[in-house]
């Protein structure tokens, strides 16, 4: 177990994107740290605008920043809105990091995504697979923006000595997820679809793609826990993967979700929808060696997630106190 090299206690901490799934999980996790949390509403500070970002940061002067603000979405949203995914993410990252550098932010945590790695990267995917092969076409726009964010953080560390660290989570799920069928990720989409099928008594539910792709799913509370852990113990150029070390096929995931919601009908697949990357399992050796392991098993995470869904409590609450 590595020792603490950065104290969060006593610091002013800005979670950029605090209403999103990742940002709200960070807010819950940081609530138990002895720090002052500051937030900016999207209506008052548009992080795509440099002047607005600069004015806000100059006024608030945070010591520590979590860059959890991003334009995110599932496979179809990524494929169909490439301009938005590229522009919004590039602007947010560039503005926040440049202004953080100029205003003397002490530490900044950049959050990437496992889609930054090549489509056919060897599995499990080690951090040094970055930029070793072509990206998955459906999400290359988002991935290019996220890779630019990583490179910017690394460049700023190299040129200016900024303590910016880059963390790469696996596919995420949890409270504050997006349930819009057109833009959601697979777990939120299927949880809703199977739930509605159970309520309506539908005989069949259709799952996109062939069902053969494999994904690694990380509960967002585990991600927040790892982020705080690494904030305190990690300061280096290299990126760090955050995952569970286990993956599951979309077909098995669909069965697990059907079971979770109590749907007993048939499951079919629609191969006209994209499969995306065949497999995305992160190599978490580096993180595990520092003394951190994921604590929320997928089956438990799904059960709690569905409980929240039924309670209508998907906003800001979580069953896990990690």
Asked if 214 interacts with ligand GFB (CB under 6 A), we say no
Based on the residue annotation, tell me whether 156 is a catalytic residue of this protein: no
Stretch 65-104: interaction string toward ligand GFB, x if CB under 6 A: ---------xx--x--------------------------
Q: By C-beta, is 135 or 152 nearer to ligand GFB?
A: 135
As a whole number of angstroms, the distance between CA 242 and CA 45 comes to 29
Report phi then psi at 270, rounded to 5. Answer: -115, 90
Asked if 142 interacts with ligand GFB (CB under 6 A), we say yes
Show the beta-strand stretches assigned E in the chain.
12-16, 36-38, 64-67, 107-111, 164-169, 171-173, 204-208, 214-215, 217-219, 240-242, 248-249, 266-270, 279-280
Nearest Cα neighbor of 223 from 86, 63, 20, 35 is 20
3-state secondary structure of 294: coil
Task: Evaluate the omega torsion of the peptide bond into residue 124 and state whether it is cis, within 30 degrees of 0.
Answer: yes
- Quote the tokens at residue 232: 């305190």
Q: Which of 6, 87, 117, 142 is catalytic?
A: 142
Shortest Å, Cβ 236 to ligand GFB: 24
Q: By C-beta, is 62 or 276 nearer to ligand GFB?
A: 276
Total residues contacting ligand GFB by CB under 6 A comes to 24
Asked if 138 interacts with ligand GFB (CB under 6 A), we say yes
Shortest Å, Cβ 215 to ligand GFB: 5
Q: Which positions are annotated as active-site residues?
A: 142
Q: What residues line the site for ligand GFB (CB under 6 A)?
A: 74-75, 78, 113, 115, 138-139, 142, 171, 184-186, 189-190, 207-209, 213, 215, 250, 273-276
């Amino acid at each position: 177990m590595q020792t603490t090299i950065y104290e969060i206690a006593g610091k002013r901490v800005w979670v950029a994107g605090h209403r999103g799934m990742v940002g709200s999980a960070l807010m819950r996790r940081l609530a138990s740290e002895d720090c002052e949390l500051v937030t900016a509403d999207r209506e008052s500070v548009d992080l795509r605008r440099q002047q607005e970002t600069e004015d806000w940061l100059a006024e608030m002067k945070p010591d520590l920043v979590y860059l959890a603000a991003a334009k995110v979405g599932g496979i179809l949203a990524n494929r169909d809105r490439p301009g938005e995914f590229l522009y919004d993410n590039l602007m947010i990252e560039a503005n926040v990091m440049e202004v953080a550098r100029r205003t003397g932010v002490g530490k900044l945590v950049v959050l990437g995504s496992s889609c930054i790695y090549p489509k056919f990267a060897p599995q499990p995917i080690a951090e040094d697979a970055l930029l070793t092969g072509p990206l998955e076409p459906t999400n290359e726009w988002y991935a290019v923006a996220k890779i630019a964010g990583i490179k910017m953080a690394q460049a700023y560390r190299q040129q200016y000595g900024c303590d910016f660290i880059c963390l790469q989570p696996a596919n995420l799920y949890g409270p504050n997820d997006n349930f819009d069928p057109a833009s959601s990720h697979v777990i939120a989409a299927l949880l809703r679809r199977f739930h509605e099928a159970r309520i309506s008594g539908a005989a069949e539910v259709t799952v996109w793609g062939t069902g053969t792709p494999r994904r690694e799913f990380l509960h967002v509370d585990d991600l927040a826990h790892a982020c705080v852990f690494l904030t305190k113990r990690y300061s280096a150029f290299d990126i760090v993967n955050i995952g569970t070390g286990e993956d599951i096929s979309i077909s098995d995931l669909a069965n697990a979700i059907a079971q979770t919601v109590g749907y007993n009908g048939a499951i079919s697949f629609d191969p006209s929808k994209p499969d995306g990357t065949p497999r995305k399992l992160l190599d978490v050796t580096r993180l595990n060696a520092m003394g951190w392991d994921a604590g929320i098993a997928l089956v438990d995470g799904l059960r709690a997630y569905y409980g929240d869904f039924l309670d209508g409590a998907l906003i800001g609450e979580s069953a896990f106190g990690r």
